[in-house]
Amino acid sequence: MSGSVEKKRVLVIGKDARTDAIAEKCLASSPEPEVYALTEFPIPGLIEKCTKVFMKPLTDRQALIPIVQEVCPHLAIIGPEEPLEVGFVDALNDLGVPAFGPTRRLAAIEYSKSWTRELLDRYDIPGNPDYRIFTSKKGLGQYLEKLQSFVIKPDGLTGGKGVRVSGEHLHSRQDALSYAESLLALDGRVQVEERLDGEEFSLQTITDGNVKIHCPLVQDHKRAFKGDGGPNTGGMGSYSCPDFSLPFLEADDLKKAQRINEQVIEALCRELGEPYRGVLYGGFMAVADGIRLIEYNARFGDPEALNVLPLLQTDFVELCWAVATGTLKPIARPFDKKATVCKYIVPRQYPQAAPRDEKIVVPNKYRRRDDVKWYWAASEKRNGDAYLTSSRSGAFVGIAESIEEAELIAEAAAQSVEGLVRHRDDIGRKDVIELRVRHMESLRGRGTRFRRTPAEAGVFSLSEGSASMRR
Ligand code: AMP
Ligand code: GLY
């Protein structure tokens, strides 16, 4: 696309804050493109940013045909997983539109957990925990007995809500057997794996199947309430550090995760005979003796996209187009070396359903700054106002030299939102991050040499000044 001054038309597909962040990043490209959206409800961010918004189910491939005929997009960028699973990328390619995202067969890395585990084994890629896939009840009881502490997973997409962990969601062997049998009855297979103890982190790798660009590591917070309590959610917030690692990791952990993502991208190409194009997002856990793979996703994470996209220094439309057309080149310094803290604003009842007709007001003063971003998620714009739905409303991302400063910015912004909403005020806070470092120390031993001290890694300001501002 270089060298041309023609206005490009980009179609973004999705219904979340991640897609709003993608649209924003497209608009910051040069020359500024026209951005169109295919979504399911009137998300204020997409309504405000896009030339035209189409509302159709994100699982309806046929819906793409008239939209592509009308817009003639030069490029499509897909946010969430559902359109990937039903083959939106294949349909777009058939219509002559390069797409940022893997084809349906390659997206199996996310929608079939058993296929993914077996792929790693077949290509001798490290990272799998002890696991077994059952297609009948035979041997299930004995395997649970052997593991003692285990996790039971359905094979397909469940929005993170189908995974049940012994001791947390499953309180007896009978509970576990009943749940496993219900999954067997539902889709003929169930995955059981050892329960891992450690700290989770996300590594997103942007690739055209050949060149691989690793994003800064991010830690998500899935639990609904402060202190990591309550039910799992789509993610309540996240943080990333200026050194692109995380304070509870050793240097080797980062390298191992990057190597696993690289090997999986290569294995996918060998296995299916086509290049993986888009983002490969590995959910890892740092454990006592190294790292393990929890799962793969075939797209940017949400909230993880909100941490890394504002830091991306290269032209986003150029980047996505190079990925979609297999012409990606290595980039010397793709990301700004800053810290980010993301805090999701959610309806007070979330993750339970909330009344839909409540207004949410986000003050403009936090929407026009470089050190804080606001992304709309599942809110709806009607007659110029924004209204809550039952899902997450939107997210602030604070961007600064240290986590501590980024957290202060995100927290002040989050507190300014008016409406029946809440957020987790502990995400990115020093005490919470230190707990995670202590957790890893307890697993790996006191002598563990973490990558750097938290202060050196830019987690906290070196001066105590801003810490005292909070208290
Ligand atoms: P998944 O849908 O596979 O990402 O799982 C959802 C969540 O379940 C993960 O983010 C982890 O918190 C937890 N989980 C999944 N697998 C394991 C495991 N083997 N050990 C401990 N926790 C797990
Ligand atoms: N951060 C969890 C997800 O994107 O699936």
Atom of ligand 2 nearest to the CA of 301: 4
* Residue 367 CA, ligand 1 centroid: distance in Å: 34
Atom of ligand 2 nearest to the CA of 297: 5
In 168-231, alpha helices (H): 173-187
Ligand having the closest approach to the CA of 281 = 2
* Residue 152 CA, ligand 1 centroid: distance in Å: 9
Q: Ligand 2, atom 4: nearest CA belongs to which residue?
A: 301
Atom of ligand 2 nearest to the CA of 304: 1
Say whether pLDDT at 150 is over 50: yes
Ligand having the closest approach to the CA of 235 = 2
- Across the range 236-253, mean pLDDT stands at 96
CB distance 17 to 374 below 8 Å: no
**CATH 3.30.1490.20 matches 130-194:** yes
Please tell me the pTM assigned to this model: 0.94
Q: Domain spans of the chain? A: 9-108, 130-194, 199-422
- Across the range 140-153, mean pLDDT stands at 95
CB distance 203 to 284 below 8 Å: yes
Say whether pLDDT at 191 is over 50: yes
> Which stretch of 83-92, 148-157, 459-468 has the lowest confidence by average pLDDT?
459-468
Q: Ligand 2, atom 5: nearest CA belongs to which residue?
A: 301
pLDDT in tens, 398-420: 999 999 999 999 999 999 999 99
Ligand having the closest approach to the CA of 296 = 1
Amino acid letter, 417? V
Please choose from 81, 109, 110, 202 the residue to mutate so as to test ligand 2's pocket, defined by most ligand atoms within 8 A of CB: 202
* Residue 3 CA, ligand 2 centroid: distance in Å: 36
* Residue 160 CA, ligand 1 centroid: distance in Å: 8
> What would the DSSP string read from start to end of 213-246?
EEPPPBEE--EEETTTEEEE-S-SEEEE-TTSS-
The neighbour count for residue 326, using CB atoms within 10 Å, is: 13
Q: Per the structure block, which two tokens stand in for 54? A: 């189409």
Say whether pLDDT at 456 is over 90: no
Res 353: pLDDT: 85
Q: What burial letters (b/e) apply to 288-300, b meaning 16+ CB within 10 Å?
A: eebbbbbbbbbbb
Say whether pLDDT at 469 is over 50: no
* Residue 150 CA, ligand 1 centroid: distance in Å: 10
Atom of ligand 2 nearest to the CA of 220: 1
* Residue 294 CA, ligand 1 centroid: distance in Å: 6
Instruction: Look at the alpha carbons of 171, 173, 174, 176 in this order and tell me if their dihedral is positive or negative.
Output: positive
Res 459: pLDDT: 66
- Across the range 386-394, mean pLDDT stands at 93
Res 447: pLDDT: 61
Pocket of ligand 2, beta carbon within 6 A? 160, 220, 235, 297, 301-302, 304
Q: How far apart are CA 56 and CA 18, in angstroms?
A: 18
- Across the range 205-224, mean pLDDT stands at 97
CATH of segment(s) 199-422: 3.30.470.20
Question: Would you give the DSSP letter of residue 64?
Answer: H
Q: Between 171 and 277, where is the model more confident?
A: 277
Query: What percentage of the chain reaches a pLDDT higher than 70?
Result: 93
Res 418: pLDDT: 97
Res 355: pLDDT: 76
* Residue located via tokens 């909230």: 303
pLDDT in tens, 18-68: 999 999 999 999 999 999 999 999 999 999 999 999 999 999 999 999 999
> Which stretch of 125-129, 433-437, 456-460 has the lowest confidence by average pLDDT?
456-460
Atom of ligand 1 nearest to the CA of 283: 4
Atom of ligand 2 nearest to the CA of 18: 4
Res 278: pLDDT: 98
Q: One fold for both 9-108 and 130-194? A: no
* Residue 236 CA, ligand 2 centroid: distance in Å: 10
Ligand having the closest approach to the CA of 79 = 2
Q: How far apart are CA 423 and CA 31, in angstroms?
A: 37
- Across the range 131-135, mean pLDDT stands at 96
Q: How far apart are CA 259 and CA 242, in angstroms?
A: 21
> Domain 9-108 maps to which CATH number in 3.20.80.10, 3.20.20.60, 3.40.50.1820, 3.40.50.20?
3.40.50.20
> What would the DSSP string read from start to end of 280-322?
EEEEEEEETTEEEEEEEESS--TTHHHHHGGGB-S-HHHHHHH
Res 453: pLDDT: 58
**Going by DSSP bridges, is the β-strand pair 190-194/150-153 parallel, antiparallel, or unpaired?**
antiparallel
* Residue 165 CA, ligand 1 centroid: distance in Å: 8
Please choose from 147, 150, 151, 201 the residue to mutate so as to test ligand 1's pocket, defined by most ligand atoms within 8 A of CB: 151
* Mean pLDDT for all residues in the chain: 92
Pocket of ligand 1, beta carbon within 6 A? 129, 151, 153, 160, 163, 165, 193, 195-196, 200, 222, 283, 294-295
CA 215 to chain centre: 12
The neighbour count for residue 51, using CB atoms within 10 Å, is: 12
pLDDT in tens, 295-309: 999 999 999 999 999
Atom of ligand 2 nearest to the CA of 305: 4
Atom of ligand 1 nearest to the CA of 197: 21
Query: What percentage of the chain reaches a pLDDT higher than 90?
Result: 83
Please choose from 215, 240, 304 the residue to mutate so as to test ligand 2's pocket, defined by most ligand atoms within 8 A of CB: 304
Please choose from 165, 195, 233 the residue to mutate so as to test ligand 1's pocket, defined by most ligand atoms within 8 A of CB: 165
